[in-house]
Structure 1
């Protein structure tokens, strides 16, 4: 009985704790495109990512070589790109007039992760936001030229990611 239990636990640990992969498209800075698998969860703040090549062998790719990266996870398409400053960032929303980016970085001393979120509009104004914390003020700053959006922002009780995206979509439609 102990033998069967140990075999069951061994097989369960292999299945439960195995690393998952997602099909990923990576566009390098030299314009090459890689259709590969990315091991998740991954940390966008790391300086390199582990991918599986077409022979299912692990390869390490340097983040500085990547121009954009996209994959589908839980039915949602997740996109990353590299800014002109060389910052690797997640594109939360990209409209005609506004963009919302989320940057993740590692502290070089403690290894702690820090997130920074920035919304920019067509005028070049950008504002840092924290979802759930003072994001109403940041959205009002970005949408200051449209007073009806400010009243809509005030009427919303809690601004989560979906509601912020809906405000940005309305801003794009009006402008």
Structure 2
């Protein structure tokens, strides 16, 4: 069974709904930083593809880039606040109680790197969702956490969203593929 995509229809749909682009990027970025939700949303790779799709559709880069940074920072902040409020009790709940070794690795990482760990944590793959939780449980000061969180979120969305956009909107890409119009 073959799956056929009507590329022109997809581009037309994105163009017609481009006002929703920042919201989509915000939700994907936030979902990537929330426990359990991040398991079901492989947004790191989806963001790269969306960047290219948005470029091909003429959607402006900056609103989505800003929304993605805010979404990632918001997700980290929610997890930080929940864990700071619940303190150590959170670790006795599912799914945390089943991943003691992973939480120990996240804790060791956080102790070693401190506030820089929050910045780096945005790029931490499976440990990503645990970094703000460990920061909250260990009572990392809110202001340094938030500054590091904002910097890490901005860097993360730039690394994973902007390249797809910039590649798909570049003259090199259009020349190499004979133009986006023929491709799509």
- TM-score normalised per structure 1: 0.27
Give the structure with the larger strand fraction: 1
Structure with larger Rg: 1
Structure scoring higher RCO (CA < 8 A, sep ≥ 6) equals 2
> Quick check: which one's helix share is greater?
2
Q: TM-score, normalised by structure 2?
A: 0.26
